[in-house]
Amino acid sequence: MKQRLYEFDDIRAFAALSVIAIHATAPYVTEEIIGFVWNQLMRYAVPLFIILSGFLLYYADRKKGTVHYGQFMRKRLTKIFIPYVIWTIVYTLFKMREEIADRGAEALPDVGGALLSFLFDGSAFVHLYFLIIMFQLYLLYPVLRLWMKHRANQALFVSFFCTFLTQTWVYIHDITKWGVQIPQVTRFLPVWLFFFVLGMYTARHKEGWEAWLRRNGLLVAVCWLVSIVLLLVDSRITETYGASIKPTVVLYTVTSYFLFYYICMGRRRWQKQGEGFVQWLSTQSFLVFLLHPLILTVLRILPREYGDDAIWDGLTGMLGLFAATTGVTLLLTYIISFTPLAAILGGVRAGRK
């Protein structure tokens, strides 16, 4: 029987809510100081999901001699490929809804062309690039696993160098327009590789760094505080508050990962482990991730359609938009989990693990 890592339930559930917060606060970063700070505080969310993926994959395989590449790819890619295709279709139809309504069947060739393009690069909606990244990481995982097994420190250093260098290059281009701009750079493997390898590395050395964390919780908290201050100052001065690809986010994500794990270790010492909302949200986090931008966009459109544009204005509007998006997304996720659609949409059928 596999040992459930309850700390990662906590972190994954929190990361799912954090992604919602990033998207809900995005329109307010230049209007509300709380919106700006809240948005930047959540910037670890997508990289943290990648770290968790690397950890959980390697931890599950840590005692295996070899990983059968074909079997691994069928299992992992099928798990994300079918939801990716379905949600790309959903978001393509949603994005082109007005053209479809105006032109009817005549719009189908354009819709089909757009769909093929979106499937290739994950651009049907703002968040689907994440699945393109995961496709690449899964393809490379068996090689990374061998590298981690024989040269763990080297794998961590080289992946950090690749990610830090590419993120710094993108960051410098964003603020100076120096150098060559590569379209869709957020979908490139080197930009995210370190986070995945860091997850694998900490899975390999789990007992060692857990013991270190227990002794150095205050140091981790101080490092986290320094990293978020650096990120806030960086984002404000350079006006890169909409970017998650920059060196300060790398630092902030790493310190957040270790701080959250330290907090969750302490929480699990006094909280009974078992079923509950956090574990449910962790289990359904992929579906929540895929669904919430649609809910958020609809909630922002509806007031304009019915003449109440001010409903989401200001601080109260921002808080209301986040609460409404979260509530509706979780409710629909809960309903979907009782249907056969759950698995193909990225969720888990109720009653299954």
d(CA 284, CA 287): 6
Give the Å distances, CA to CA, from 339 to 76, 91, 275, 282, 329: 22, 21, 20, 18, 16
Q: Do residues 83 and 345 make contact, with C-beta atoms less than 8 angstroms apart?
A: yes
Phi-psi region of 272 (alpha: psi -120 to 50; beta: other; left: phi over 0): beta
Tell me the pLDDT band of 293, cut-offs 50, 70 and 90. Answer: very high
CB 201 within 8 A of CB 138: no
Lowest mean pLDDT among 3-17, 72-86, 175-189: 175-189
Tell me what the mean pLDDT of segment 196-206 comes to. 95
Per residue in 318-338, pLDDT (tens digit) is 999 999 999 999 999 999 999
Q: Lowest mean pLDDT: which of 60-69, 79-88, 167-176? A: 60-69
Can you give the pLDDT at residue 1? 43
Q: Give the Cα separation of 54 and 71 in Å (integer).
A: 18
* Averaged pLDDT for residues 117-138: 90
Nearest Cα neighbor of 17 from 318, 350, 263, 292 is 292
Q: Quick check: 24 pLDDT over 50? A: yes
* Statement: residue 149 has pLDDT above 80: yes
Q: pLDDT at residue 261 above 50?
A: yes
Binned at pLDDT 50, 70 and 90, residue 173 comes out as confident
pTM: 0.92
pLDDT given for residue 287 in this prediction:
96
Residue 161 has pLDDT above 50, yes or no: yes
Q: What is the pLDDT of residue 271?
A: 57
CA geometry: angle at 126 spanning 121 and 127, to 5°? 85
Residue type, 80: I
- Mean local confidence (pLDDT), 246-254: 96
- Per-residue pLDDT of 38-65, as tens digits, reads 999 999 999 999 999 999 999 988 777 6
How far, in Å, are 59, 81, 156, 204 from residue 146 at the CA level?
14, 25, 13, 12
- Say if CB 178 and CB 36 are below 8 A apart: no
Question: Is residue 204's pLDDT more than 70?
Answer: yes
Q: Is the pLDDT of residue 353 over 70?
A: no
Least confident span in 65-79, 94-108, 205-219, 310-324 = 65-79
Examine the pLDDT at 273 and tell me if it is beyond 60. Answer: no
Q: How far is CA 220 from CA 213, 244, 261, 275, 333, in A?
A: 8, 22, 10, 29, 35
Helix axes 206-215, 247-270, angle to 10 degrees: 80
Per-residue pLDDT tens for 92-118? 999 888 888 888 888 888 888 888 888
Closest by CA position to 245, among listed 203, 327, 185, 194: 185
Residue 227: is its pLDDT beyond 60? Answer: yes
